[in-house]
Each structure stands twice: as structure tokens, then as C-alpha cells.
Amino acid sequence: MRIRFIQTRTVKAVDGQTYESGKVYDLPDASALRWLRRGVAVEVVEAVEAEVKSIDEPPQNKAIQTPAKKKSRQGMTNGQ
């Protein structure tokens, strides 16, 4: 799991690994979850790029339909 440390931490056991604030580390899930629970790291979520189309770009492969014109009411009287 990828996490970003928000506080610098040094592991006292094993090899004295230091995790620097602001850096992203890929750690085993169990280890990452411990840091998250301690509140010294946040999970890094990869953003998915969405396909963004310009408003000015016409639709592709779609027929543009225009609304049908309404019939004129000229010449009609109230009784019709």
C-alpha cells in the first residue's frame, strides 16, 4: 500500500528506517495500516484521468437533430 507520511518517523526496531514527512512509501499493507492508525501517514490514492472533451468540440458519430417547426396559427379564429 502506498502512503504519504505527514510526520517524520524513525523505526527504532530492525534497521532504524526513517520515513520522511511529505514522502511517499510503498509498504506492506499491515505496516501501512499501523502508520495510518497512528495518524502519522495518509493513504495515497492514484487519480484516474478522465477523458475531458471541450464544449466547443462537436459530438462525433451522432446526427444533430433540429426540432420540428410548429405549424403557424395564422388565419385561425377562436372557434377552430
pLDDT value for 73: 61
The ranges assigned to domains in the chain are 2-43
The CA R_g of the chain, rounded to the nearest whole Å, is 31
DSSP state letter for 20: -
Per residue in 5-40, pLDDT (tens digit) is 999 999 887 678 899 999 999 999 999 999 999 999
pTM for this predicted structure: 0.55
d(CA 2, CA 24): 7
